[in-house]
A = this chain, B = another copy of it.
Amino acid sequence: MSTSTATLMDGTALARRTVEETAARAAELTRRTGVTPCLATVLVGEDPASVTYVKMKQNRCAKAGIRSRHVELPAATTTEELVATIGALSADPEVHGILLQHPVGPHIDERAAFEAIAPEKDVDGVTMASFAAMGFGLPGFVSCTPGGIMRLLDAYEVGLTGKRAVVVGRSAILGKPAGLLLLGRDATVTYCHSRTTDLSSIVREADILVAAVGKPRFIKGEDIKPGAVVIDAGYNPGNVGDVDFAPAAERASLITPVPGGVGPMTIAVLLAQTVEAAERHVV
């Protein structure tokens, strides 16, 4: 059996440091102004996974000195009702950040619901305004998972300028913004997806690979370029990522584990951006 040569990118440890910094900022803001940052979480229906995610986010908020206000809506909620609820949170001066837990059910126009989030409260980075800001390199909140990926790359001092970055997946809140953020940092970015032909040969060119497809072990270890940095943003049943970890780790220089890589950073960015929103609101 061969041995892993890659260094693990420890998202759990980096997330812990990030949350500690965030908690210190939240405490300082509260001490200085009396304002406690507040994240509103909106949950539609009772999908068990969504319930768990929201509860986890609320627990993390509490530990970081962030209040959370939870809004639960029945599964039968209409688009209009959801938009009105989120609009009210957007207008509420006591709420600094808004998270709409995805998915919201097929009868709801999710885009309309996302767009009801005021850009200055879009700490989850899901609105069109946030997407465009990422694309143009303008101030704004980033999508949390891509933002977590960039923090991981920076923490491990991965040079991006001129590097070949391959993003596998093109979702609106993961693949697409991840590519735009990497492009904004001067990487040469290729987007691959379900219609890509000859994926292997493209993955083999990647100095930096971001896997974001949601298919277990979809990326084969033999396709990893020796020395590549492998970011696995997939999280499939059984704690399995989108990359076939063991053989990939034999070739990569740096690789994120699943779990304990990208996942913890996603929530860390959510918390950090909530405190940032509160700071901007108070100033």
Contact = CB atoms under 8 A, between A and B. Distances in A.
A138 B191 CA distance: 19
A133 interface: yes
25 contacts: A128-B128, A128-B133, A128-B136, A131-B131, A131-B136, A132-B132, A132-B135, A135-B135, A135-B172, A135-B176, A161-B195, A162-B195, A162-B196, A162-B197, A170-B183, A176-B180, A179-B191, A183-B191, A183-B193, A186-B193, A186-B195, A188-B191, A188-B192, A188-B193, A188-B197
Contacts of A197: 162, 188
Interface in A158-184: 161-162, 170, 172, 176, 179-180, 183
A240 to B, nearest CB: 25
Given A183-B191, A188-B202, 11 more contacts: A111-B136, A128-B128, A128-B136, A128-B138, A129-B129, A131-B131, A131-B135, A135-B176, A162-B195, A176-B183, A189-B190
Given A132-B132, A162-B197, A189 B188 contact: no
Contact of A128 (B132, B162, B196): B132
A42 to B, nearest CB: 21
Q: Counting chain B CB atoms within 10 Å of each CB, which of A135, A176, A179, A186 scores highest?
A: A135
A186 B193 CA distance: 8
Interface in A175-224: 176, 179-180, 183, 186, 188-193, 195-197, 202
Count of chain copies: 2
A170 B128 CA distance: 19
Interface string A61-104: 00000000000000000000000000000000000000000000
Contact of A196 (B136, B172, B188): B188
A218 B69 CA distance: 55
A260 to B, nearest CB: 31
A188 B198 CA distance: 10
A189 B166 CA distance: 10
A100 to B, nearest CB: 16
A105 to B, nearest CB: 19
Given A128-B128, A190-B188, A190-B190, A136 B172 contact: yes
A186 B180 CA distance: 17
Nearest to A133: B128
Nearest to A187: B195
Nearest to A195: B186
Contacts of A191: 179, 183, 188-190
A189 B138 CA distance: 23
Contacts of A131: 131-132, 135-136
Contacts of A196: 162, 188
